[in-house]
Amino acid sequence: MQRRYFFAGGLAGLSAYHFKAYWPDNNSFFNDCRQLPDELAKHEIVLSAFEGLDTSQIWDGHVHLLGLGDSNSGIWINPRSLSLLNIRHYIRFRFFLNASCPLPNMSVDEGYVARLKSLHWAHRFVLLAFDYSYNEQGKPLPDKTAFYVPNRYAAQVHKQSPDTFEWLASIHPYRKDCVEALEKALLNGARGVKWLPPAMGMNPASPLCDRFYKAMASWDIPLLCHCGDEHAVSGTNTQTYGNPLALRRALDQGVKVVIAHCGSLGSNRDTDKSPNGAHVSNFELFARLMDEERYNGLLFADISALTQINRVGTILDTVITRSDWHPRLLYASDYPLPGVVPLTSLRLLHEKQYITAEQLEVLAQLRHYNSLLFDFVLKRLIRVQGQGFATSIFQTRSLWLLPT
Ligand SMILES: [Zn+2]
- What 3 state SS string does the chain have? CCCCCCCHHHHCCCCHHHHHHHCCCCCCCCCCCCCCCHHHHCCHHHHHCCCCCCHHHCEEEEEECCCCCCCCCCCEECHHHHCCCCHHHHHHHHHHHHHHCCCCCCCHHHHHHHHHHHCCCCCEEEEECECCCECCCCCECHHHCCEEECHHHHHHHHHHCCCCEEEEECCCCCCCCHHHHHHHHHHCCCCCEEECHHHHCCCCCCHHHHHHHHHHHHHCCCEEEECCCCCCCCCCCCHHHHCHHHHHHHHCCCCCEEEEHHHCCCEEECCCCCCCCCEEEHHHHHHHHHCCHHHCCCEEEECCCCCCHHHCCHHHHHHHHCCCCHHHEECCCCECHHHCHHHCCHHHHHHCCCCCHHHHHHHHHHHHHCHHHHHHHHHHHCCECCECCCHHHHCCHHHHCCCC
Distance 170 CA to ligand 1 centre (A): 12
Distance 306 CA to ligand 1 centre (A): 12
- Ligand 1 (ion): residues with CB under 5 Å are 334
Residue 362: the pLDDT is 97
- Average pLDDT value for residue range 186-199: 96
Q: With 50 as the cut, is the pLDDT of residue 18 above it?
A: no
Distance 128 CA to ligand 1 centre (A): 8
Q: With 90 as the cut, is the pLDDT of residue 250 above it?
A: yes
Q: Set out the domains of the chain in order of their start, with CATH numbers.
A: 58-344 (3.20.20.140)
Distance 330 CA to ligand 1 centre (A): 14
- Average pLDDT value for residue range 271-282: 94
Distance 48 CA to ligand 1 centre (A): 27
Distance 193 CA to ligand 1 centre (A): 13
Residue 212: the pLDDT is 98
Residue 22: the pLDDT is 47
Residue 5: the pLDDT is 31
Distance 335 CA to ligand 1 centre (A): 7
Distance 334 CA to ligand 1 centre (A): 5
Residue 146: the pLDDT is 87
pLDDT tens-digit series, residues 26-68: 444 445 567 789 999 999 999 999 999 999 999 999 999 998 8
pLDDT tens-digit series, residues 137-163: 999 999 999 899 999 999 999 999 999
Distance 217 CA to ligand 1 centre (A): 23
Distance 198 CA to ligand 1 centre (A): 12
pLDDT tens-digit series, residues 308-355: 999 999 999 999 999 999 999 999 999 989 988 889 999 999 999 999
